[in-house]
Amino acid sequence: MELFKNMADFTAAADGGYLIDVMQKYKQAKFIYQCHKSNILQFLTTEPQSSEDIAEKAGVISERLVVVLDALTSIGLVEKENDKYSLSAISEAYLFCESPFYIGDLIELNMSDEEKCGGEMVNSWLHGNSVSREHDPQTTFSQSFVRAMAQGVLIDNSVRKTAELLCAHPCFDTAKNLLDVGGGHGLFAIAIKKLKPNISATVFDLPQNEAVAKEYGVRCGEEVAFFPGNFYVDELPPNQDVVLCFDILHPVAVSQKESVFAKAYRALNEGGHLFYKLWFLNEERTAPSRASLMAVKCKIGNGNSHVITLNEAKEMLLGQGFGIEDILSLGDGESQIIVAVKK
Ligand SMILES: C[S@@+](CC[C@H](N)C(=O)[O-])C[C@H]1O[C@@H](n2cnc3c(N)ncnc32)[C@H](O)[C@@H]1O
């Protein structure tokens, strides 16, 4: 059934902000529970201390602690200044066990037995127990995962906003071929095709996700091609005028990200444009909170992973031969798009 016929159909009748907020807060609550179980906040004071000093007192691995402290900073429970960390007022009042307002038992009470199951993960990781394993795209990016991604970009209206923002770029006046790398569900390519019907759009993704892209193609009444492959292994199809890299490569090391952008560079025609969209971390690595929390999750899963800052991303693209043309914002305070050009 054709559900997304016109651009306006990509905007739901009700604002999904409330649900997005609840889901984010749920993730934050689980993270706070895990940090509570690790006792890490008990080793902080209102006086700023280096992560090395805190790690020594707590008997944990300093490089891992930094990632956790940055994430705690991102949700206001720790303060970070000049690479030193201290308790925020809210943590001092409620999460520091010597405070008369300490809520440790209340936190326990609010967690179900199932939620308590994974509660030791951060603690165990901080102490050096590694659950780290090589990132496996085949098992991580199931069809359900990719459908979840589609639902995530529909609920925050970013399909429509992104497509409209991109198509206002002059390169879309002449672009013939577009490749959406890790395009999964295909919604961005589909929405762009609705605005620029003459463009030939292809989604590059793992073979298992072709069915999801086809499903959304039917729902949108818009055909986009699907090129199955693994971008860590395979070359990308050449002769592209526009390459999209949206929300990909979080769980891997910088060297692996570089190899994919080298492929994107080769796939582009001279003067072609790359649009790299992500919740880039700030320089302090403490915002946006979604990216800081993602950095913890990725590091626990794969010790080599690196959630990237905007400046690191720009440097990486310059290193691959791209010129940086612009930084676009979706206006949600989180997503940014680097516009890079093949010189
Ligand atoms: C986080 S989702 C982002 C999907 C979409 N670009 C968006 O912004 O909503 C990551 C996408 O990259 C794809 N992907 C991950 N690793 C891949 C690989 N090695 N080769 C091809 N596609 C991959 C996944 O299947 C998934 O569709």
The domain limits of the chain are 17-126, 137-342
Q: Strand pairing of 225-228 and 200-205? A: parallel
Q: How far is the CA of 49 from the centre of ligand 1 (A)?
A: 39
Q: How far is the CA of 231 from the centre of ligand 1 (A)?
A: 9
Q: How far is the CA of 145 from the centre of ligand 1 (A)?
A: 9
| Residue nearest (by alpha carbon) to ligand 1 atom 14 | 182
In DSSP terms, 86 is beta-bridged to 79
- CA dist., res. 259 & res. 256, Å (int): 5
- Are the folds of 17-126 and 137-342 the same? no
- For residue 192, give the H/E element and its range: helix 187-195
Check pocket membership of 70 for ligand 1, CB cut-off 6 A.
no
Q: Which fold has domain 137-342?
A: Rossmann fold (3.40.50)
pLDDT (average), residues 255-282: 98
- Among 158, 232, 245, 248, say which to mutate for ligand 1: greatest number of ligand atoms within 8 Å of CB: 248
Q: Which atom of ligand 1 is nearest to the CA of 153?
A: 9
100 pLDDT tier (thresholds 50, 70, 90):
very high
* Residue 161: predicted pLDDT: 97
pLDDT (average), residues 78-99: 98
Q: Which of 87-91, 179-183, 301-305 has the lowest mean pLDDT?
A: 301-305
pLDDT (average), residues 163-188: 98
Which CATH class, in words, describes the domain spanning 17-126?
mainly alpha
| Residue nearest (by alpha carbon) to ligand 1 atom 25 | 141
* Residue 139: predicted pLDDT: 85
pLDDT (average), residues 241-255: 96
* Residue 331: predicted pLDDT: 87
* Residue 131: predicted pLDDT: 66
Half-sphere exposure (CA, 13 Å, Cβ side) for 178?
27
pLDDT > 80? residue 261 = yes
Check pocket membership of 156 for ligand 1, CB cut-off 6 A.
no
Per-residue pLDDT of 304-325, as tens digits, reads 999 999 999 999 999 999 999 9
Q: Which atom of ligand 1 is nearest to the CA of 277?
A: 8
Determine the distance from the C-alpha atom of residue 44 to the mean position of all C-alpha atoms in its chain, rounded to a whole number.
28
Q: Strand pairing of 240-246 and 268-278? A: parallel
Q: Which of 70-84, 131-145, 225-239, 242-256 has the lowest mean pLDDT?
A: 131-145
Q: How far is the CA of 179 from the centre of ligand 1 (A)?
A: 13
| Residue nearest (by alpha carbon) to ligand 1 atom 12 | 182
| Residue nearest (by alpha carbon) to ligand 1 atom 27 | 184
